[in-house]
Structure 1
Amino acid sequence: MSTTDISSLLTRAQEISADAERVTRAHLRKVTLPVAAGAPAQVLGLITLDNGEDHTKPNTFGPRSLLELNTAIDAALADDEITALGVTGKPFILAAGADLTSIAGGGPDAVRVVAELGHAVFRKLGDGGKPSFGFINGLALGGGLEVALHCDYRTVMDSAPALGLPEVMLGLVPGWGGAYLVPNLVGAENAVKLIIENPLNNGRTVSGKAAFKLGLADACFSGADFLEQSLLWAAPVLSGETTVERAEVDRGAAWDEAVARGRAIAEARTGGASPAAALAVDLIAAAKDRTRDEGFAAENDALEAMSRTPELLASLYAFDLVQKRAKRPAGAPDRTLARPVTKVGIVGAGLMASQLALLFVRRLEVPVVLNDLDQERVDKGVAYVHAEIDKLLAKGRIGQDKANRHKALVSGTVDKASEFADADFVIEAVFEDMGVKKSVFAEVEKVVSPDCILATNTSSLSITEMASELTHPERVVGFHFFNPVAVMPLLEIVRGEQTSDTALATAFATGKALKKTTILVQDSPSFIVNRLLGRFMSDVSRIVDEGTPVQVVDGAFAGVTPMSPFTLIALVGPAIALHNTETLAGAFPDRFYVSPALERVVAARKAAYFAPDGTLDPEVEALLEQPAEPVVLDAAEVRTRVLKGLADEARIMLDEGVVAAAEDLDLAMITGAGFSFWNGGLTMLLEREGLGKFH
């Protein structure tokens, strides 16, 4: 790109820069590298990206931030004393990519300008005439990874928690070099994993250590002195003492096979509903033969094209929910009402309870006591937590001191009175039966202090009824996690009719400390996610029972739901799916349907409808009785009918005041059920399909 072209881009970027942008500054300083006696001096111009915020607000790139970086790079290139460039970030964060909020407001023209500007600025690192290093010292997503990819060499911190190119999840494509540079650096197979497969798997990322193994970085270092080690490594690279060797990329049949796999993944996960996924595969395919200029130009065209799609608008809406609404839950009481939690009791020591214990001890770092009916169960629960902590230690995610401390904080007891008396927060995670849960709370209330909050992890039962026979029902609150607890971000906080603001505020404060996305829900059957999924599964089961083949129904929702309905049943278990439907049918018999076929599957103790090879289990097929006059729908008809049911249920839930607004339904389905960003969760999709107005 010519100097004139860059100057024009810089001018246009200044014109579209938004006041809302959280500007990431690029601080340039000179670092003298150690060299052998008599060797010429090596001075590295180190650019540190820092938006001046704490670790919860990572560096991002909007127009003004790109201008900042451009100025720093130009200054380093113009300084004759500087012999090489390096880019790193503030502690534990390189950058989280583009500032989507500040860019999208300008429409497709602004997206085009920022796409071209990002390429122009970043490629100065590789084309500026001086060797460059990307020191990936922590989180690096999207443009945050791409800025390092433009450097000649890269190091990465082994404990960096998240590296990746998540753009496809957002209805975009890697647009600052990633779609071209990654396949040409680490091969098409790894590019498909990073650009297609991981983003479509709920935005999965890779660790620093894994990124090094993939070939994204040339060296991997650990510890607080990561930058110092990286600089010491850079010195012999510059002097020629260390030669960086990279695996040769296979440009033969393996490339084409990887692209074919990428297309299959994109189609299976999106059903063609996300144009970004298909376009990203095209970019990887074409990167095999394109020049760098051609590859970058294609990325610019792709980003501009995606900026005109409804999927991007839905993605930006979803992104805003996760970034902003999730941090300020609608309807949450004044946080100053929250009581401190210095000890946690957990009733139950099964898998769910043990997962809760692990989460509480890791996030709150307070004593956590598991309780169950006999010592064997208690010991098994504590052993599970200790084993999981040992796994984290083995993976290098925590140190030995922290592992020892966390293990020491977890204990078990069969005697509630002896260990729960000084607990501030007790949560039950026992069998999903109202009688059992009432009995548990009655026992707990006798031994805890008057100020102790009682929380229930129920997925569907009434908080109000559960608390109705207690002396202090006002301290009972719903605290519903999703499985697996460590992975799923959502925590539904449910207010019973008598739940106090103090109990609610404590629940929200605790949820925040646990690093969960919290949403306030009014007490109603199955709350948000399980109610909507219950309606989904109810309508799906009815369609199957009426005569449409399971295979047709199961394949009708690619691009709508993160997994097919009968995969979902296998994940949660047919018995749990049946229980949820029974609860909802009991409350709303006019809308929810209990499938006789599902009852037979549960009675037969079948764990799934499909065999491991993807075919319908013959034993399950025998349980699916054909009606005398079957009604057979095609996939499109199945999809439309079920979406109409979801639109109906969503509208009823809003009218009932289950949540404050449609935004909470969408936030819940994104963070609790993995619904896609490009659909905007649920209600944006329903609006796009003409099935109602929710906003």
Structure 2
Amino acid sequence: MPVHVRTVDLPGGPGRAALLTLDPGHPRRPFVLGPDPLRELDSALDQAERLVTEEGLVAIAVTGVPGAFCAGADLKQVASVTTREQSRGVAELGHAVLGRFADAAVPTFAFVNGTALGGGLELALHCSYRTVSTAARGLGLPEAYLGLVPGWGGTWLLPHLAGPEVAVRVTIENALANNKTLDGPQTLAAGIADVALEPADFLVESLRWTGSVLRGEVTPERRGPAPADEWEAALTRGRSVADTRVHGAAPAPYRVLDLLEAARVNSRDAHFAAEDDALTDLVVSEELHAGLYAFDLVQRYARRPVGAPEGVEPRRVTAVGVVGAGLMASQLALLFLHRLKVPVVLTDLDADRVEAGVERVRSGVEDLLRKGRLDPDTANRLRANVSGTVDKAGLAHCDVVVEAVFEELSVKQQVLRELEPVLSPEAVILTNTSSLSVTEMASVLQHPERFAGFHFFNPVAVLPLVEVVRTGRTDDPTLATAFAVGARLKKTCVLVRDAPAFVVNRISTRLFDVVARAVDAGTPLPVVERSVDALGLPMTPFRLAKFVGPAVMLHVHETLAAAFPERYRVPDFLPRWVEAGSPDLVAPKGDPVPTDAAAEVLTATGTGPDGAEILRQVQDALADEVARVLEEGVVATAADVDVCMILGTGHPLFTGGLTPYLNRTGAAERVIGHRF
């Protein structure tokens, strides 16, 4: 990965600058910082400083190739580090090289023209000044998401530049929110960049702005030291977020917060030494290597889904039908409308339901416009492209039709009987069932080969997984079309065999079955809620059940209890919860304190297992169910299970997904006699 050095004129004076360009050497790969690129950057800085001395250059600037600045550390090289000595060497090398931008004899400028993650953003933070493109996306310090800390200056530079509130937001809140990042305007608003410039002439305008700074015509604002109460408020919020997201199950977020707290009083050099210590510990930790495995796995499946038939052309999709106009169906319709940019038609039993569904979709378009994810012209086209009808014949022109009606087999079969005759022979029919047999649904079709499961997860716009369910009759063109549509929807598709509740709901329900048995046995609800904190799940069991919907949970439990009565049962309290209107049983936020409704729904008396025993039972049950899913061929590999659980339920990257966690805790060997 070369770093090119050239001299450039600063428009209007006061002289010339050395411009370093980070070049990944490949059009589809970003520039990343490993030992070799860092040494290349070090040599480029040697050259730039010679030019400063010999030719009187007045500044050093660094930028990336069009659209990308620097994507941070080379994770493959990080994964290859096995000793603390190697780990410390990487930490110290990064500080030594990037620190040269802060210690240079002339002002330094970062022209952030695109993605700047981790060490890439830290490089920019070391510079004296920063411009950012208004089109830039993907700026942040996501290290805690993977099991690391921003270890090349980020935990000292960012709070001193933009304040502790911004530092906590970027390193903790955004990182633990599935690696949320900033765009160019947000980076400016946060005080990280000094100016945001349009992308068309970004380099020229950055050089022009550099000249104006050096001539004294522009003086970028710098905030003073943050008061003590601002530090305290930010760090308290950060610890609350970390507790909520990882429940103490991962060390990295807490190491980040410790470093941010220390940055308040540390000198720069003392702090960088503390970052070296933290990186030395974490780079060789089990959590990091689990996180890197999971991160790489998710990236690979997103690029090339496993199970998509090779060499088979998907059918062209020019219009989509959605059967059903309820909340889930409306979410699906909005997703298809937004991503595919084709006409979408909803149908339901009566005009009022159809009208309500269409209105929900159009309101969703308004939300996207308000959030800046659509321009007004596109929003107008999308609003015009959604329509509704009570007549299924109105779907006759659709190339793909998604069935999303009430989760009852007989209802879905009746819909399919009515739907098939009105569609073209080439149309693909997909069902969004969460647990019913796709094969039994297909039994009423004249052409079951064009039918497959296409199971989304709620909320549809957020969770990236789709389980693509193949029956024994589904043909390759149908499967290829499902995978192609999933890719256009920006979803990760995993091929699963038709089996009760497929993968995610089956395994997740086994977990809930264990905690539900504990509740039925009399274990206090707060103990049950906290018992599985070690899994690092984003929601406690009963908060997740409320979010999914107790009626949905009841249906899935009934399905699995009928299929596997030796392992699954319908919890005693679950029908009462549904009958009571599915109220919150624990406080929605903060400590999982039981609500008044819990006393009416959870009527068990006795002494159930304690938290440690519940966790062990959960681990063993999960290991058993994963082994059964693999033995039955529901999915092909343990990696398929990990992708499903990471993307479908939010199993965190720092556990590596589910099977590495079961390996590390010994559950796999306890239950099946070997590691996954």
TM-score (norm 2): 0.93
The structural deviation recorded for 1:81 is 5.5
Distance 2:444 2:588 in 1: 47
After superposition, what is the alpha-carbon deviation per residue over 1:582-628, rounded to whole angstroms, capped at 9, x for unaligned? 1111111111121121211110103321235653111221221123x
2:250 to 254, 268, 274: 274
2:5 to 25, 28, 38: 28
Distance 2:602 2:376 in 1: 54
SS of the residue 1:507 aligns to = helix
Q: Residue type of the partner of 1:479?
A: F
SS of the residue 1:526 aligns to = coil
Distance 2:105 2:47 in 1: 13
Contact preservation (8 Å) 2:142, 2:179? yes
**What residue is the counterpart of 1:50 in the other structure?**
23
Contact preservation (8 Å) 2:78, 2:283? no
Instruction: Report which stretch shifted further, 578-587 or 618-627.
Output: 618-627
The structural deviation recorded for 1:490 is 0.9
Distance 1:91 1:356 in 2: 35
**Closer/same/farther in 2, CA of residues 321 and 365 from structure 1, 3 Å limit:** same
1:503 equivalent to 2:475? Answer no
After superposition, what is the alpha-carbon deviation per residue over 1:85-122, rounded to whole angstroms, capped at 9, x for unaligned? 33333333323221111232132343332222222222
**Closer/same/farther in 2, CA of residues 244 and 643 from structure 1, 3 Å limit:** same
After superposition, what is the alpha-carbon deviation per residue over 1:363-401, rounded to whole angstroms, capped at 9, x for unaligned? 222222222233333333333333333333343333333
Distance 1:262 1:315 in 2: 21
SS of the residue 2:9 aligns to = strand
**What residue is the counterpart of 1:100 in the other structure?**
75
**What residue is the counterpart of 1:72 in the other structure?**
44
**What residue is the counterpart of 2:671 in the other structure?**
none
Q: CA RMSD in A?
A: 2.2
Distance 2:375 2:585 in 1: 43
Distance 1:69 1:409 in 2: 51
Q: Residue type of the partner of 1:626?
A: A
**Closer/same/farther in 2, CA of residues 222 and 556 from structure 1, 3 Å limit:** farther
**Closer/same/farther in 2, CA of residues 379 and 637 from structure 1, 3 Å limit:** same
After superposition, what is the alpha-carbon deviation per residue over 1:393-419, rounded to whole angstroms, capped at 9, x for unaligned? 34333333333333343333333323x
Distance 1:49 1:428 in 2: 49
After superposition, what is the alpha-carbon deviation per residue over 1:317-354, rounded to whole angstroms, capped at 9, x for unaligned? 11221122443333321153322222222212233222
**What residue is the counterpart of 2:604 in the other structure?**
626
Distance 2:197 2:378 in 1: 21
Contact preservation (8 Å) 2:301, 2:492? no
1:153 equivalent to 2:129? Answer yes
**What residue is the counterpart of 2:269 in the other structure?**
293
SS of the residue 1:349 aligns to = coil
**What residue is the counterpart of 2:501 in the other structure?**
526
Give unpaired runs (5+ residues) of structure 2: 669-673
Matches within 5 A, 1:79-478: 79=51, 80=55, 82-108=57-83, 109-222=85-198, 224-418=200-394, 420-478=395-453
TM-score (norm 1): 0.91
Distance 1:68 1:341 in 2: 47
1:41 to 11, 14, 24: 14
1:539 to 501, 514, 523: 514
SS of the residue 1:678 aligns to = helix
Distance 2:411 2:658 in 1: 34
Q: Residue type of the partner of 2:185?
A: K
1:558 to 527, 530, 533: 533
Distance 2:114 2:388 in 1: 36
**Closer/same/farther in 2, CA of residues 73 and 584 from structure 1, 3 Å limit:** same
**Closer/same/farther in 2, CA of residues 271 and 450 from structure 1, 3 Å limit:** same
The structural deviation recorded for 1:309 is 1.5
The structural deviation recorded for 1:53 is 4.0
Report the number of matched residues: 664
Instruction: Report which stretch shifted further, 89-98 or 280-289.
Output: 89-98
The structural deviation recorded for 1:308 is 2.4
1:588 to 564, 576, 583: 564
Distance 2:425 2:195 in 1: 56
**Closer/same/farther in 2, CA of residues 511 and 54 from structure 1, 3 Å limit:** farther
SS of the residue 1:198 aligns to = helix
Distance 1:32 1:136 in 2: 19
Distance 1:359 1:91 in 2: 30
SS of the residue 2:175 aligns to = coil
**Closer/same/farther in 2, CA of residues 428 and 547 from structure 1, 3 Å limit:** same
Distance 2:17 2:415 in 1: 64
Q: Residue type of the partner of 1:120?
A: A
**Closer/same/farther in 2, CA of residues 159 and 672 from structure 1, 3 Å limit:** farther
The structural deviation recorded for 1:226 is 4.1
SS of the residue 2:585 aligns to = coil
After superposition, what is the alpha-carbon deviation per residue over 1:637-676, rounded to whole angstroms, capped at 9, x for unaligned? 2211111111111111111111111111111111111111
The structural deviation recorded for 1:222 is 4.4
**What residue is the counterpart of 2:549 in the other structure?**
573
Q: Residue type of the partner of 2:336?
A: F
Q: Residue type of the partner of 1:211?
A: T
SS of the residue 2:628 aligns to = helix
**Closer/same/farther in 2, CA of residues 249 and 406 from structure 1, 3 Å limit:** farther
**Closer/same/farther in 2, CA of residues 391 and 246 from structure 1, 3 Å limit:** farther
The structural deviation recorded for 1:694 is 4.1
Distance 1:509 1:612 in 2: 38
SS of the residue 2:221 aligns to = coil
Contact preservation (8 Å) 2:102, 2:127? yes
Q: Residue type of the partner of 2:18?
A: G
Q: Residue type of the partner of 1:27?
A: H
**Closer/same/farther in 2, CA of residues 351 and 606 from structure 1, 3 Å limit:** closer
**Closer/same/farther in 2, CA of residues 249 and 463 from structure 1, 3 Å limit:** farther
**Closer/same/farther in 2, CA of residues 481 and 161 from structure 1, 3 Å limit:** farther
The structural deviation recorded for 1:170 is 0.9
Distance 2:325 2:7 in 1: 56
Q: Residue type of the partner of 1:196?
A: I
Q: Residue type of the partner of 2:429?
A: L
